[in-house]
Amino acid sequence: MAKDKTPAVEGGAPVRDDFLPFARPSIGSDDIDRVVATLRSGWLTVGPRTLEFEDAVASYVGVKKACAVHSCTAGLHLSMVALGLAPGDEVILPALNFAAAPNMVIHMGATPVLVDVDPDSLNVTAEIIESAITERTKLVIPVHFAGRPCPMDEILELARSRKIKVLSDGAHAIGTKYRNHSIGSMADATSFSFYVTKGITTGEGGIVASPDGALIDRVKRLSLHGMSSDAWRRYSDRGPWYYEILEPGYKYNMNDIQAALGLCQMERVDDFRDARARLAAVYGEGFAEIDAVLTPDDYDEGVHAWHLYPIQIDLDSLTINRDRFILNLIEEGIGVSVHFIPLHYHPYYRECLDHDPGAFPVTEAYFERAVSLPIYPSMTEDDARDAIRAIVKLLDYYKR
């Protein structure tokens, strides 16, 4: 067989000689200059740039106030406290999920109640959530998976009628719009992530947005030890040395170095998202005629942020499994990943929640077949075409 048709793992020529990473932040010289200027300014911790960043993100998502924190996880945690989650409460969230939200639920002494997702959107729906509501349900945490919005109108209507709070996990969803609303303006609170792989980055970072300004004031206070507001000013010449602890808080604040980077990234947030959307279109076209590849559904009622591009491989048509397919792709020079290992497959959650395999059939079937392809602004359309070529090559070679 021709060397370029033989997989690299079998001694053939790889599709790419230079490895295409799965993810890479877009850091330009402006980003670097803004961070350096902050370092030179002498003010590194939470301060004027963090406030400016909060305003920039709040206005972008269409709310009056937001609170910048050091991760989306921290934002989820503080939102749970501010929304009054208490020990013994139940919290509904998808099994197709990262550990951040369920871990915080556990730390609150509450119980994560896992649910399956809709097979087309890979998101929770109001119907799925409703089936898991009990008298103890206090909160639901929809994940806008891959940057595609959950059906928020239905979810909010259900939650309001059952007196349940909604905390959006917006880790994938800066730039996402449900119909014409940013998802950050809809739920009781939304926590976004600015981790390196996300829509914009602050290295590590996150922000809580809410239409409820009083809730954000509380999150802000909790993010800095429970100090009276603007306590950070105590080190500047603008305010007094005095502060008061109003409740036991946490140390989750963002700092001005992160915020300087975030401010510069926010200037390109829509450009970044549009670049991802163009790559999604290249993938969509490239796989249109390939039966063995199921591409993610588009979403045309609003805006998909395309944080991830998760495809599903028809394993019945292949002689290898998904894990072997991924090892092959990496040898072909294409970085890929899987989002997510279902929560109930992890030893801790398997034991504490006692779900057998089979409990969440859509999540499980998706996981067996899932491969997340690289999708980020600094990738070219040819990079995406290389990923398509590598997949087609492997599908041909390993055809059953």
Ligand X SMILES: Cc1ncc(COP(=O)(O)O)c(C=O)c1O
Catalytic residue ranges: 198
Q: Does 169 bind ligand X (CB under 6 A)?
A: yes
Using CB under 6 A, count the residues that bind ligand X. 11
Q: Does 386 bind ligand X (CB under 6 A)?
A: no
Q: How many CB atoms lie within 10 A of CB 161?
A: 9
Contact region for ligand X (CB under 6 A) — 69-77, 223-231, 249-257, 328-336?
69-77
- Which residues make Cβ contacts (< 8 Å) with residue 57, sequence separation at least 6? 66, 68, 174, 184, 192, 207, 209, 262, 266
The distance of closest approach from Cβ of residue 173 to ligand X in the complex, given in angstroms and rounded to an integer, is 9
The answer to whether 157 and 192 have CB atoms below 8 angstroms apart is no
Cα separation, 91 vs 136, in Å, equals 9
Q: Among residues 143, 156, 209, 320, which is the contact residue for ligand X, using CB under 6 A?
A: 143
Q: How many CB atoms lie within 10 A of CB 348?
A: 12
Tell me, residue by residue from 191 to 230, as one string, x for binding to ligand X by CB under 6 A and - for no binding.
--x-x----------x------------------------
Q: Which residue matches tokens 């390196």?
A: 196
The distance of closest approach from Cβ of residue 154 to ligand X in the complex, given in angstroms and rounded to an integer, is 20
Name beta bridge partners: 170. 192
Nearer to ligand X, 204 or 212 (CB): 204
The answer to whether 34 and 264 have CB atoms below 8 angstroms apart is yes
Q: Does 372 bind ligand X (CB under 6 A)?
A: no
Edge-first strand order for the sheet with 293-294 is 293-294, 309-313, 370-373
Q: Does 309 bind ligand X (CB under 6 A)?
A: no
Q: Does 388 bind ligand X (CB under 6 A)?
A: no
Q: Does 370 bind ligand X (CB under 6 A)?
A: no
Q: Does 265 bind ligand X (CB under 6 A)?
A: no
SS3 (DSSP) at 335: coil
Q: Among residues 100, 139, 375, 384, which is the contact residue for ligand X, using CB under 6 A?
A: 100
Instruction: Name the nearest CA neighbour of 94 among 132, 53, 138, 44.
Output: 132
The distance of closest approach from Cβ of residue 71 to ligand X in the complex, given in angstroms and rounded to an integer, is 3
* E strand or H helix at 370: strand 370-373
The distance of closest approach from Cβ of residue 33 to ligand X in the complex, given in angstroms and rounded to an integer, is 25
Q: Using CB under 6 A as the criterion, which residues of the chain lie in contact with ligand X when the complex forms?
A: 71-73, 98, 100, 143, 169, 171, 193, 195, 206
